[in-house]
Amino acid sequence: MVRHPLSKRANKYLRKFKKWPHSPYKTSWHHNFGEEQAMKNLKQATLEMDSSQHPQRPNLPCPFLLSTLLDSFKAYSIDPTPKAYFFVLKTLTSTSQLQDIPPVLYHLEHLEKFETPESILVYLIRFYGLSDRVQDAVDLFFRIPRFRCTPTVCSLNLVLSLLCRKRDCLEMVPEILLKSQHMNIRVEESTFRVLIRALCRIKRVGYAIKMLNFMVEDGYGLDEKICSLVISALCEQKDLTSAEALVVWRDMRKLGFCPGVMDYTNMIRFLVKEGRGMDALDILNQQKQDGIKLDVVSYTMVLSGIVAEGEYVMLDELFDEMLVIGLIPDAYTYNVYINGLCKQNNVAEALQIVASMEELGCKPNVVTYNTLLGALSVAGDFVKARELMKEMGWKGVGLNLHTYRIVLDGLVGKGEIGESCLLLEEMLEKCLFPRSSTFDNIIFQMCQKDLFTEAMELTKKVVAKSFLPGASTWEALLLNSGSKLGYSKATFSGLLGPI
């Protein structure tokens, strides 16, 4: 039998062709195993690190945790990893060992060769910024390229947001933006958003609007959320006039901004607060034209603005319009409308509206009745005012201090001194006190009517209730203290008759 020569395939099984594995110290699995063990030792050392349990190590050239990191990886003949450095930095920040951070950064910058992930530096920048070490955060941002790391807009946005948190750091923002260009960081739309949000948060809306214009000029689209934020901050400004706010509103709409419900609501509220009810009505009309859903809140605010400006014709038209489109007025809306009617001295119609409220299931509240009582007091119809106060009682609407003061001021203003004294007695029983000027006026009128004794008794009662009369009360009493009174036994109820 002829033996055939061995094929190349068979040669693989011969000893001299056997491929033995490489040294175990050169394989990837051993390298990964070494990293895992080094990190395990580092974490274990961190858990055990306690100044009271570990001796001082003055001979070490660097802090304990850093030297532990280096020793752990050296024991396995491998280089430290970015993950290990990140762990060390997080440990130092969480344990407030800030004095040990610079040596770690120095080692990472000068002695390591790997590309440092930006996330590590971003973490430390954020920590510095939130710890009121803004300058350290800025310095680290400028050092990013030294760590063999390419800075991106992520770190730029972070630094800018940290600087914009405080007014005294705003002056550093232009420098950051200029130097970021030399660092080859491209300003993106997100950067504009960061700046605008920060400026709105610290109430520097003027700068935020300028930044928004720069954003549009650079070709970026108009961000609806950013615009809404600007409008919201704009309406919270105390030193901004309504005319300036309207200019900004119109300019933003020209740029393509489509306001939402909250934007319209904020703008209407601001204009009404500034006494520009008709301008608020124009904004409401724009909302209708844009097809944005209308609500009772917006109508109520515009109604109050119109009442404040005395545009009563528009008041009726707008209230009717609200009913036509199907909006159901609430108690606040009715109160505004009733106030408008009362300012026109149309108390009868206002009382009819109150009746309509009850029929529609909307209960009048104390504000409703106080508005009616104020109008009745001005008109001098105190009989109806008394009936209304009784009605409040049996309908479960509590009379508050403002209720009594409204009627009392009306009585005193009309010279109804007897009724005034009776109502004041009722107030004192409930520990409710009049305005100091109102009480002074009561005492003055009583002295004018030669009711000095009664005035003295009334003064004693209010002083016993810890109410301090004004100077006019004492002046009136002193000026009339020498008068001879022949009716010291008169009662307040007897004052109601003709004198």
Task: Give 82-115 as a DSSP string.
Answer: HHHHHHHHHHHHHTT-GGGHHHHHHHHHHT--SP
Query: CB neighbours (10 Å) of residue 359?
Result: 7
b/e per residue 30-64 (b: at least 16 CB within 10 A):
eeeebbeebbebbeebbeeeeeeeeeeeeeeeebb
The tokens of 344 are what? 């026109």
If you average pLDDT over every residue of the chain, what do you get?
Answer: 83
Distances (CA, A) of 40 to 64, 72, 73, 87: 16, 9, 10, 11
Closest by alpha carbon to 265, among 293, 226, 224? 293
Beta carbons of 306 and 314 less than 8 angstroms apart: yes
Helix (H, G, I), strand (E, B) or coil at 347: helix
Task: Provide the CA 136 distance to its chain's centre, in angstroms.
Answer: 30
pLDDT tens, residue by residue, 258-298: 899 999 999 999 999 999 999 999 999 999 999 998 999 99
Task: Provide the CA 452 distance to its chain's centre, in angstroms.
Answer: 56
pLDDT tens, residue by residue, 466-496: 888 888 888 888 887 764 444 343 444 444 4
Beta carbons of 477 and 447 less than 8 angstroms apart: yes
- Quick one: how many helices (H) and strands (E) in the chain? 26, 0
Q: Looking at the whole model, is its pTM more than 0.75?
A: no
Closest by alpha carbon to 209, among 259, 222, 258? 222
Side-chain half-sphere exposure of 498, counting CA atoms within 13 A:
0
pLDDT tens, residue by residue, 337-392: 999 999 998 999 999 999 888 888 889 999 999 999 999 999 889 899 999 999 89
Query: Could you tell me how many residues make up the chain?
Result: 499
pLDDT in the model for residue 77: 82
Query: CB neighbours (10 Å) of residue 105?
Result: 19
What is the pLDDT tens value at each position of the chain, 499 positions in all? 455 554 455 454 445 544 545 455 456 766 677 778 878 878 887 776 644 344 444 433 346 788 888 888 888 888 888 998 999 899 888 888 888 899 999 999 998 899 999 999 999 999 999 998 999 999 999 999 999 999 999 999 999 988 888 778 878 888 888 899 889 998 888 888 888 888 888 777 888 888 888 888 877 777 788 888 888 888 887 777 888 888 888 888 887 888 999 999 999 999 999 999 999 999 999 999 999 989 999 999 999 999 999 888 899 999 999 989 999 999 999 999 999 999 998 999 999 999 888 888 889 999 999 999 999 999 889 899 999 999 898 888 888 999 999 999 999 998 888 899 999 989 988 888 999 999 999 998 888 888 888 889 888 888 888 888 888 888 888 887 764 444 343 444 444 444 3
The tokens of 427 are what? 């107030």
Distances (CA, A) of 5 to 16, 19, 149: 16, 21, 60
Beta carbons of 399 and 389 less than 8 angstroms apart: yes
Helix (H, G, I), strand (E, B) or coil at 276: coil
